[in-house]
Structure 1
């Protein structure tokens, strides 16, 4: 296989683009998020650059697949750059709602583009994969995790809800875990991701080169994505089996489903009451409980309702709903206070609009998420 050919020469570019030669004049398009200092958090500029490149490759017959990765070993992508959004919300002058809507509209359009891309998309999900990073990862056809992967949707901690298509992809997994992931922001291991079907390839982080090399043996069909995926998965499968037993990686899904399942049944008020009475014994479960109890009560209501409403919704319906909901929450919900407390002042002491789940009324939720 030929060496990677650099098409974006600036080492400082927030997104770097490569084309890797494959056999039969085919090429692999590689997009690398290049902001390792911020764990590759997605800025609006990064979203725009990725979208533009994907459009170019869509019409390039030589490009047969796309590979997404992040610079550095710590993270693929730790989420969207919500501080950038926060600054537009709390601007000294009159805040411009269009700024917030523009960011999320373009981010969701990128996610939708990846979900529906006419060529196979492979995502190397090493390290932290959270929030906006999950939006990219879950949109890929081949979702690769390693022993270092940590997946999460922690939006309740900043007064939001799992977005970037989560109203769709969380509804594709077991309802117990969909609710638990969304309400607690818990971190999932590579084993958890595989058990839940959120990832479909598990390899050692040292296997990246071998995985890339194996792509030259795929029978690529530029006109038939599904045929390419069949060949691709057949070649990747033997690599994935090497880590089938990871004794040093936690498998929370296997260990805790029976304990968590009863907690996630019922209304948000019933779930809240059960979690408050719950006495978890492991550090991981204790952290999940604390994240729920210290998160936004308004978000807890909205999270459960949003998942219920979109149990059977299409991707298109989900992204339309999420855009309307997140724009409203950024301006009228707990978002600004959540980001201030967690990411700006970092005092971790947000003053939420509501002190508890039971103090949130139906009307409070309905102004963001109508029940009709």
Structure 2
């Protein structure tokens, strides 16, 4: 994806009743599954702030172009080349990785704090960076096509973009399980796990905009948006798919109920023997995933249970900056997307081998001076 291509982000305003407007932002890189580039992030963030400050913009809509994805994540290939440049190899931009994560988290936090009703149309693939955008919206819509995941276990990163916040707010220990396994979930799962607010048929996207445009009184924008979404859901009669996570909640809680991470990993791996495709796939993904990521997920969720949203993003930036400077993240991208050999050589072969100070280092700032996100505003009460 070309960073300097302005067409990768489409911005428009749609007239509504009462002289108001809807701000519509479309991630427009369908061939790349609408993955985020730094250019897209840096254009979208100030536009959202401008819309939020404009009293005549009473609703914001975030969506992805094409039929396959809302947003499949970030531009990790360019991040990879940036990491290589940081190590003195290749011709990538050594400043890109740090800048990307800093600005991405700033965008995600901005969405969380928008006062203007914000709808995220989570149709298709919603993974990694796409989850960061969707989870900040006031109205998170999913469809029959929705496929969600935080798949960082496969590339040596960790569930970021605010996952410390939203994984800790899921039923039981499902957040830990999904973080460790990168398991994909559907719209029914998303609703059960508090990762979505409303289920609508994918074909109702145009109808949503038409109904918003037809609303005459925008004195209470949230009431209008909520009412339109509720009526659409009721009139469609559509039901979300069966929730596999709900079905396996007891199994998930049992497998993740152990004193040590090694015991949890062993219990999840044992699920591969179950006659269940979803559990088997989850166990296999963990088995082939990055042990350092597993350790980071475990500590991230444990340490982040009582953090504020701002604190979550600030801590995750420390972790991301350290992953940039440690070997597994680059190795995971290499194996998956560069050489595509599917054989990452992780630094440690099991969670039991990882020294405590190695994980602890991932929670320390690699920079001197003030935290790059220290200026984020406090959350609204």
* TM-score above 0.5, yes or no: yes
Is 1:155 aligned to 2:149, yes or no?
no
Gaps of 5+ in 2: 365-381
SS at the partner of 1:64?
Answer: strand
Instruction: Choose from 245, 249, 253 the match for 2:245.
Output: 253
| 1:146 corresponds to | 143
| 1:167 corresponds to | 164
| 1:228 corresponds to | 221
| 2:176 corresponds to | 179
Whether the 8 Å contact between 1:97 and 1:331 is mirrored in structure 2 is: no
Is 1:241 aligned to 2:234, yes or no?
yes
After superposition, the CA RMSD in angstroms is 2.1
Shift of 1:354: 0.4
Shift of 1:221: 4.9
Distance 1:164 1:170 in 2: 11
Whether the 8 Å contact between 1:214 and 1:236 is mirrored in structure 2 is: no
Whether the 8 Å contact between 1:154 and 1:186 is mirrored in structure 2 is: yes
Change (3 A) 1:204 1:98: same
| 1:121 corresponds to | 118
Shift of 1:178: 0.4
Change (3 A) 1:220 1:100: farther
Distance 2:217 2:85 in 1: 50
SS at the partner of 2:310?
Answer: helix
Whether the 8 Å contact between 2:127 and 2:149 is mirrored in structure 1 is: yes
Is 1:40 aligned to 2:37, yes or no?
no
CA offsets, 1:246-287, max 9 Å, x none?
48x342023211222200112211101212333222222111
Whether the 8 Å contact between 1:120 and 1:141 is mirrored in structure 2 is: yes
Whether the 8 Å contact between 1:219 and 1:228 is mirrored in structure 2 is: no
CA offsets, 1:155-192, max 9 Å, x none?
11110110001101111112421011111111110111
Is 1:29 aligned to 2:26, yes or no?
no
| 2:68 corresponds to | 74
| 1:200 corresponds to | 197
Is 1:265 aligned to 2:257, yes or no?
yes
| 1:331 corresponds to | 325
| 1:7 corresponds to | none
| 2:369 corresponds to | none
Deviates more, 1:185-194 or 1:98-107: 98-107
| 1:346 corresponds to | 340
Normalised to the residue count of structure 2, the TM-score between the two structures is: 0.88
SS at the partner of 1:28?
Answer: strand
Normalised to the residue count of structure 1, the TM-score between the two structures is: 0.90
Gaps of 5+ in 1: 1-10
Distance 2:181 2:105 in 1: 23
| 1:8 corresponds to | none
Shift of 1:23: 0.3
SS at the partner of 2:60?
Answer: strand
